[in-house]
Copies of this chain bind each other. A is one copy, B any other.
């Protein structure tokens, strides 16, 4: 399976899985190279350092997700700038899509974990990129809800992002039922979340 990829890609995939499972500090490069079935020295050859590997794992998925979010947002706004549900879907759908991807599912937990890491520079790097995307959505949502103050809007968007992160990472009470496919579970999650977030934003 992994043997279709070259050394660098195998390291990236193995690291993504392990970071999701054990965190950044909790994962050793030895674990990564062992799972990727490459030599221990390869990671320093290709990435220079562990810290650099962490950043690359991140950038890879974040760039992809942000791009999908922004293009979905542009399409939704062009279609109907007052369709709050469409805008929310543009925000939620790309995150959802990740959980259906073989390796992306791990990344969702990596993402949640990164939010829990407070000072590590990774967090700053993240909030800069991710922050810009959030501001685009804020603009679109503000257009739908002109009565909302900017402060109130930002609070509520934080709540939506929190609910999304939490639900996507599969914390909490809700567990996927045995009879339900992962895809169906995620679609249900999106549907519930959009309904909830829409009502909360309109409060």
Set of chain B residues within 8 Å of A156, measured between Cβ atoms: 192, 196
Q: State which residues 114-134 of A face B: CB under 8 Å.
A: 115-120, 131, 134
Set of chain B residues within 8 Å of A57, measured between Cβ atoms: none
The CA-CA distance from A158 to B201 in the complex, in Å, is 17
- A115 CB to nearest chain B CB (Å): 5
Verify if A45 is at the interface (C-beta below 8 Å from B). Answer: no
Verify if A59 is at the interface (C-beta below 8 Å from B). Answer: no
Number of copies: 2
Tell me if A173 and B154 are in contact (CB < 8 A): yes
Residue of chain B at shortest CB distance from A22: B25
Residue of chain B at shortest CB distance from A113: B116
Verify if A199 is at the interface (C-beta below 8 Å from B). Answer: yes
Residue of chain B at shortest CB distance from A126: B171
Dominant secondary structure of chain A at its interface with chain B: helix
Stretch at the interface among A2-10, A29-37, A159-167: A159-167
Tell me if B192 and A196 are in contact (CB < 8 A): no
Set of chain B residues within 8 Å of A193, measured between Cβ atoms: 155, 159
Set of chain B residues within 8 Å of A199, measured between Cβ atoms: 199-200, 202-203
Residue of chain B at shortest CB distance from A166: B162
Tell me if B173 and A157 are in contact (CB < 8 A): yes
Tell me if B171 and A155 are in contact (CB < 8 A): no
Verify if A75 is at the interface (C-beta below 8 Å from B). Answer: no
Verify if A142 is at the interface (C-beta below 8 Å from B). Answer: no
In the complex, given contacts A112-B115, A113-B113, A166-B166, what are 12 additional A-B residue pairs having Cβ atoms less than 8 angstroms apart? A22-B119, A23-B24, A23-B25, A109-B118, A152-B192, A157-B172, A159-B193, A161-B166, A162-B164, A162-B166, A196-B203, A199-B202
